[in-house]
Amino acid sequence: MPLVKLFLGNGAGLTAQDTVPFALWCAAHHLDDFEEAIWTAVSGLGDRDTIAAITGSIVVLYAPENTVPEAWTLHVEKFDTSIFYK
């Protein structure tokens, strides 16, 4: 578990000031590795889902193509994206 969460917060305070800095730190330190970024984000405990969502949203834009583990993409809810691209 990163000690940086002691200084940046981990979302336990339920405020943006307590959540966003750690998420940005996780993303900045793992821009090339989506999986590691997410595991680092959830290791901080606190508001894990929000921190992981922020971190993942940033890293997926920078990391190499197909960086999200295939096993993860196979186990998500399927939805029709065609309604968004008419």
- Model pLDDT, residue 52: 93
75 against 51, higher pLDDT: 51
Amino acid at 86: K
Residue list for the binding site: 47, 49-50
Residue list for the binding site for Mg(2+): 47, 49-50
- Model pLDDT, residue 44: 84
Q: What is the pLDDT of residues 8-66, one digit of tens each?
A: 776 766 667 778 888 999 999 999 999 999 999 998 888 888 999 999 999 999 888 88
| Band (76; pLDDT cuts 50, 70, 90) | confident
Is 50 in a helix, a strand, or coil? helix
- Model pLDDT, residue 34: 93
| Predicted structure pTM score | 0.74
Return the CA Rg of the chain. Answer: 14
CA pair distance 79, 59, nearest whole angstrom: 23
| Band (85; pLDDT cuts 50, 70, 90) | low
